[in-house]
Amino acid sequence: MILQSIKKEFILVFSDLHSVAVLLLMPVIFMLIMTFAMSERQDDMIHNLAVEFKTNNEDEQALFGRYLAGFGYQLNSEMPEASASLVLGSNLKQQLFSSQNIPLIQIEFGSATSPAIQALLNQHVQLAFARLKLHLYMLDTGEMDETLPLDKQMAQINQQTDTSQYIKVAKDNLELPVVTYSVPSWLVFGVYFIVLPISLTLLNEVQNGTLIRLKTFPVNLQHYFLVKLLAFYLFSIGQFLFLSLIGWRLIPLLIDLPAVPYKQLWELLCTVLVVSLAAVSFASIIAALVRSFEQAIVLGGGVNIIMAALSGFMVPLDIMPQSLQQIAQFSPMYWSAQLVKGTMYGQFNHEHWMSIIYLTVFAAISLTISALLFSRRIKDLSWN
For residue 5, what pLDDT is reported?
A: 67
User: Cα–Cα distance between 337 and 318 in angstroms, integer?
Assistant: 15
| Rounded mean pLDDT, 172-187 | 72
- What is the sign, positive or negative, of the torsion defined by CA atoms of 277, 281, 283, 288? positive
Q: For 14-32, what is each residue's pLDDT tens digit? A: 777 777 777 778 888 888 8
Could you give the strand order of the β-sheet that contains 74-76, starting from the edge strand earlier in sequence?
Answer: 74-76, 50-54, 84-88, 105-109
For residue 40, what pLDDT is reported?
A: 60
For residue 353, what pLDDT is reported?
A: 87
| Rounded mean pLDDT, 163-175 | 68
If you average pLDDT over each of 56-70, 199-213, 340-354, 360-374, which comes out highest?
360-374
- What is this structure's pTM? 0.76
Containing H/E element for 319? none
Q: Is the pLDDT of residue 214 over 70?
A: no
User: Cα–Cα distance between 314 and 338 in angstroms, integer?
Assistant: 15
Torsion angle defined by CA atoms of residues 71, 319, 270 and 221, in that order, rounded to the nearest 10 degrees: -140
Among 29-38, 58-67, 167-176, 265-274, which is the least confidently predicted range? Answer: 167-176
Q: Is the pLDDT of residue 42 over 60?
A: no
Q: Where are the beta strands (DSSP E) in the chain?
A: 50-54, 74-76, 84-88, 105-109
Q: Is the pLDDT of residue 174 over 70?
A: no
Non-local (6+) Cβ contacts of 196 within 8 A are 19, 22, 296, 297, 300, 301
**pLDDT grade for 381, boundaries at 50, 70 and 90:** low
Non-local (6+) Cβ contacts of 341 within 8 A are 180, 184
| Rounded mean pLDDT, 38-47 | 64
Q: Is the pLDDT of residue 178 over 80?
A: no
- Average pLDDT score, the chain: 82
**pLDDT grade for 269, boundaries at 50, 70 and 90:** confident
Among 23-37, 173-187, 227-241, 347-361, which is the least confidently predicted range? Answer: 173-187
Q: Is the pLDDT of residue 213 over 80?
A: no
Q: Is the pLDDT of residue 280 over 70?
A: yes
Amino acid at 247: G
For residue 267, what pLDDT is reported?
A: 82
| Rounded mean pLDDT, 248-259 | 80
Non-local (6+) Cβ contacts of 129 within 8 A are 64, 96, 104, 105
For residue 90, what pLDDT is reported?
A: 77
Q: Is the pLDDT of residue 384 over 50?
A: no
Q: For 326-377, what is each residue's pLDDT tens digit? A: 888 889 999 999 888 888 777 777 888 899 999 999 999 999 999 898 888 8
246 CA to centre of own chain: 16
